[in-house]
């Protein structure tokens, strides 16, 4: 009885430590393994478009594309990154890049508006044409399945708005970048160009 409860406690502690240690930005892990694949044969992420009834299956809709997945917010110090993200999309979309935005209110309550308000803000303020999806939880137990998959693939969850995940044409997560990495940075544009 004592041994069984000790083993159970040890397993629970190991699981807890494993979960808590993964919630950081990892810029060092470059190795791509099957763990890194989020668009495998059994993965399905059906997500509704922002302020729309249209639903897309992300892995099918963007199959063969390089994806840059970003959690966004309209009232953040990084909100002006919308302009850079749109520029990336304009510059590289013909070569196979798609930027995918997920508005989220998870950090500092910086995306409090309705989906209609968010869509109008993005379109009118920054001319956003890249695909935007429904307001999404990106951290914690209630995180969207796609964000849970991104976390599993990288051991890194967003720590703030405008966290970026770069996914290759085969659905493998290649790298993730914190909010301070701007869309125009050579670090990010170089990585995108290598995948295109």
Q: What is the DSSP string of 14-39?
A: HHHHHHHHT-S---S-----GGGBSS
User: 3-state SS of the chain: helix, strand, coil percent to 5?
Assistant: 40, 15, 45
Dist. CA 59–CA 44, nearest whole Å? 7
Question: Which residues are part of the catalytic machinery?
Answer: 76
In a 3-state reduction of DSSP, which class is residue 193? Answer: helix
Strands (E), the chain: 46-48, 55-57, 66-72, 97-103, 164-167, 173-177
Rg of the chain over CA atoms, in angstroms? 18
* Geometric angle at alpha carbon 183, from 118 and 162, rounded to 5°: 45
* Geometric angle at alpha carbon 154, from 51 and 133, rounded to 5°: 5
In this structure, what DSSP letter does residue 133 have?
B
């Amino acid at each position: 009885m004592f041994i069984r409860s000790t083993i159970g406690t040890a397993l629970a502690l190991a699981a807890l430590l494993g979960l808590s240690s993964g919630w950081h930005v990892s810029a060092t892990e470059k190795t791509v393994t099957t763990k890194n694949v989020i668009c495998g044969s059994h993965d399905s992420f059906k997500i509704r478009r922002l302020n729309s009834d249209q639903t897309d299956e992300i892995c099918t809709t963007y199959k063969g594309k390089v994806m840059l997945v970003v959690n966004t917010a309209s009232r953040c110090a990084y909100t002006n990154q919308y302009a850079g993200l749109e520029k990336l999309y304009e510059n590289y979309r013909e070569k196979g890049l798609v930027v995918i935005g997920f508005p989220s209110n998870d950090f500092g309550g910086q995306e409090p508006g309705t989906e209609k308000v968010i869509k109008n803000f993005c379109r009118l303020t920054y001319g956003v044409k890249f695909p935007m999806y429904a307001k999404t939880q990106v951290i914690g137990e209630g995180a969207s399945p796609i964000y849970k998959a991104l976390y599993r693939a990288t051991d890194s969850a967003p720590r703030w708005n405008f966290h970026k995940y770069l996914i290759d044409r085969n659905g493998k997560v290649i790298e993730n970048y914190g909010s301070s990495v701007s869309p125009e940075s050579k670090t990010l544009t170089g990585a995108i160009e290598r995948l295109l």
